Amino acid sequence: MSITAIVLSAQPYTPTFVGIEVLTHRSIIRNAAELQAARYAAVARVRTSHFFFLDDDDELLADHVATLDQCVAADQALAYTDELIRYVDGTEKTTARQAYSQAAHRADPMLVHHLALCRTAEALDAIKRVPRGHFCPELLLYWELAKAGAAYVPAVGYVWNKGHGMHTWPLTAISQVRSALWCKEHP
């Protein structure tokens, strides 16, 4: 398997995972523009055929290799899965996505979230076409990348430890709205 997990972290990141390379991009993020710049700079450093973003406070399930194999087998520029959300109080919920269509993605900008496996070459091209600034980098990238082909893989390989982090920042919500509007204007 030729896959990289991109981790942005202000601190050293030492976890390793079977079957994937970990690329740690050391950065301090204060706003959406810095997040976008860091995410896209990290993609430029990927040397494998595929990558996905892994937040430094999240986890992969033990069977992540099987899930990633399914994503690669989908043979699309973008393959995405369901995710397990773990809340601070210990409760868990699995999100069930749906098959990809631009209409479904437009209606639900978070249709493609964690785990989204991207083919590196197509992602680098997609990044060239999206605006820079206070935008949600993943939303723009996944929207543009899906134009080259997207597949839903009904499996869970990612654990989102939700409770704190950038998703709680008001500027993150604003960047998501700005990104969703841009996507609607660029079918």
What tens digit of pLDDT does each residue of 24-35 get?
998 888 899 999
Looking at 40-44, 54-58, 123-127, which range is the least confident one?
Answer: 54-58
What are the backbone dihedrals phi and psi of residue 92, each rounded to the nearest 5 degrees, phi first?
Answer: -135, 150
Contact 82, 156 (CB under 8 A): yes
Q: Which residue has the tokens 């500027």?
A: 171
CA of residue 69 relative to chain centroid, distance? 17
Model pTM score: 0.95
Q: Which residue has the tokens 């069930």?
A: 96
**Sign of the alpha-carbon dihedral angle for 157, 82, 155, 99:** negative
Average pLDDT over residues 130-142: 96
Q: Which fold has domain 3-185?
A: Spore Coat Polysaccharide Biosynthesis Protein SpsA; Chain A (3.90.550)
Average pLDDT along the chain: 94
Query: So where are the chain's domains?
Result: 3-185
